[in-house]
């Protein structure tokens, strides 16, 4: 699976949308790896908490602005995905 494989046709995956809406797209070097790591986490733990997300994303070296915005993006994606399941 690649970052491009997450989206369904022209529709972005909720993680991709959340990274855009939360301004978590930084230099682009670590972003794909963070999204893929978050996707793997969500596939095994559909509702991770902030600490679990931080621990999971810590394996990706980010030298731009850190991990706060990506963590917020993952939390938003988790919320959005839960709402879509319950709709």
Q: Which long-range contacts (CB under 8 A, 24 or more apart) does 34-42 make?
A: 34/60, 34/62, 34/70, 35/3, 35/6, 36/1, 36/2, 36/3, 36/6, 38/70, 38/74, 38/77, 39/1, 39/6, 39/13, 39/15, 41/74, 42/15, 42/74, 42/77, 42/78, 42/81
> Which tokens hold the place of 15?
């993680």
Each residue of 58-85: pLDDT tens digit?
989 888 878 999 999 999 999 999 998 8
Q: What percent of the chain has pLDDT over 90?
A: 75
pLDDT at 87 over 80: no
pLDDT at 11 over 90: yes
Domains and CATH numbers, the chain: 24-86 (1.10.150.120)
């Amino acid at each position: 699976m690649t970052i491009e494989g997450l989206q369904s046709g022209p529709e972005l995956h909720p993680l991709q949308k959340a990274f855009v809406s939360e301004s978590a797209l930084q230099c682009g070097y670590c972003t794909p790896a963070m999204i893929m790591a978050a996707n793997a986490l969500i596939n095994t733990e559909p509702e991770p908490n902030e600490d679990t997300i931080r621990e999971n994303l810590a394996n990706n070296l980010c030298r731009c602005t850190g991990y706060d915005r990506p963590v917020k993006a993952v939390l938003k994606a988790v919320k959005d995905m839960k709402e879509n399941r319950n709709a």
